[in-house]
Chains A and B, each alone.
Chain A
């Protein structure tokens, strides 16, 4: 049984938590731009943490369900309607065969996540269905294609589940004035103190050059004492400072290696926030203690993993027994 896409919108992609373990041969990991919203969408359904969802950028998406299931919408509020009835994101809904979901544009935030109970059933490539268009990997055809009208996405029908909503304190507000946390690292020491100070004391504007690979910002140019660097691995959230001094923040579809100096990395939670920013958003950076960031990340991991812990353990055991 399946869902049929009526209108895909400008960029709707199948995503799971990413294609890991292949960066050494240049394969970008992909995965959800706003991981926070993605993880909540699966959690509301008791899904495995990596279950495949649709990442809907800039809305204008509509579809029809052909079997009973429970769905969640998280991320940006795109004035969704289920069978013409307005629904709010960050909660789950029962759907029946024939139900139609339509999303319009959003005022705040640019990405929404649509999950179904147990996730979409998609043929994986290198153990993931995450769509990385640049690498021609993942997606509905395994070739990295974005969703198009008439795409049919399979899921297993399930009877009605208890409906849930995300507690208010965990629902982010997607503003255009954002403070992001930076873990100093990489070539941080090779930026002169006054350059670092400039970086942390000015605000930067999100430019229209934003995609799943990187976000270009514009503002006070900063310079690094080292201009040419031997190419090295690029971590998630790395803040690259090319020769023009304007920061580029590297996102899920980033290249695996690169030779620009980097002043540090955004924390994973800040990266999720940035992924919802539209061009024109004002960004301020604050320094974050590495071990504080690690502790918060660990707590978040345990929170999202524990919910499906027992099921996951059973699934792993089952897999181990059958192989």
Chain B
């Protein structure tokens, strides 16, 4: 573990040199300790895969003193590492249907799998929140099954619909709001992932476990999910044009669980 200053009132804590569930746990456990012990100095904490960036108020404490207190605290926390509380489990319903799985065809081509196999693999993996960033509430979840590893799109989409479930490299994520984005889209959740009026702004937190539950189109709509007429028409067009891919069968196989 290293602690190193990066500007007048910001220090970086590096906890490991590669990503792992253990490191995610360690970071998740440290955050409340830092908040409770150093809270009166803190401006922002930015946890990521293997590090925590910490900015503090120079009106309250100087860089040397802060760094010293931080090191002491991290040392103490290390002694008590066995006291981890288990990571919370977040279950999110996802509709993997043709109207919303915008990159299903590309993913099938790339992996050589049927889309229903892809859904099975994706929904049977338990993910961890390794980092939150890019946009408010955008959680990087890892790792995906090696069979689903796929590069970002060559040309990013100008607008990825809100709630889109996506894949890139070894990770999966949901776009909380509509935004430009280059990840491969395979489904959509009806759950609102960021809400500035809510006490806990986002459902995600560092280190949390996340599982996706496939739901039917009807359930998706019932839970408040939106499929535009244009999306429905486009999907219908794709199904007609492609008689061999078994899109109908695919839709059939989506289990209703949630």
Contact = CB atoms under 8 A, between A and B. Distances in A.
A136 to B, nearest CB: 7
A20 interface: yes
Contacts of B46: 23-24, 233-234, 256-257
A183 B50 contact: no
A29 B17 CA distance: 27
B58 A235 contact: no
Interface residues of A, number: 44
Contact of A29 (B44, B52, B59, B194): B44
B53 A234 contact: yes
B189 interface: no
A267 B48 contact: no
Nearest to A299: B58
B44 A24 contact: yes
Interface in B165-218: 177, 194, 196, 201-202, 204, 206
B93 interface: no
A294 interface: yes
Find the residue from B18, B42, B51 having the highest chain A CB count within 10 A: B51
B8 A293 contact: yes
B63 A235 contact: no
Interface string A12-29: 000000001111111101
B21 interface: no
Contact of B59 (A134, A267, A305): A305
Contacts, number: 135
A238 interface: yes
Contacts of B12: 185-186, 232-233, 235
Interface in B31-89: 31, 42-53, 55, 58-59, 62-64
A116 interface: no
Given A237-B7, A238-B6, A294-B63, 10 more contacts: A20-B43, A25-B202, A134-B135, A183-B7, A231-B49, A233-B46, A233-B52, A235-B6, A236-B10, A256-B46
Interface of B: 4-10, 12, 17-19, 31, 42-53, 55, 58-59, 62-64, 131-138, 140, 177, 194, 196, 201-202, 204, 206
